[in-house]
Amino acid sequence: MSVKKSSHGPISKLVRKMRKHALLTQNELAELAGVGKTLVFDLENGHENIRFENLRKILQVLNIQISFSAPQIEDVKPAKVRK
């Protein structure tokens, strides 16, 4: 799939930066992660609508940690979701 967005999200830049530092080509990263090369290309170019599992595979190769943090339960209420 071709990429429409011209503004690259934070993940895009992080992935590209880390891949460069790891001295990997897009194809190599794709192979190590077990995904298609198109996926790596799209991800680096702002196409963040990717399966979570595939994103995890790629980030794992690059030693990028994903963490989830929840606030204190007293504060929990539906957040304002911006359209």
Separation of alpha carbons 75 and 83, rounded Å: 22
**Cβ distance 53 to 20 under 8 Å?**
no
**Cβ distance 13 to 7 under 8 Å?**
no
Selected from 3, 14, 32, 64, the binder of DNA by CB under 7 A is 3
User: 70: which 2 tokens?
Assistant: 């929840």
7 binds a copy of itself (CB under 8 A): no
User: 4: which 2 tokens?
Assistant: 């429409």
Which positions from 15 to 54 touch a copy of itself by CB under 8 A, shown as an x/- string? Answer: --xx--xx-x-------xxx-------------xxxxxx-
Q: Which one-letter DSSP state was computed for residue 45? A: T
60 binds DNA (CB under 7 A): no
User: 58: which 2 tokens?
Assistant: 């790629």
Selected from 1, 2, 4, 77, the binder of a copy of itself by CB under 8 A is 77
* Residue 14 binding target from a copy of itself, DNA, none, CB below 5 to 8 Å by type: a copy of itself
Which residues contact DNA (rule: CB under 7 A)? 1-3, 25-27, 30, 34-39, 41-42, 44-45, 49-51, 54
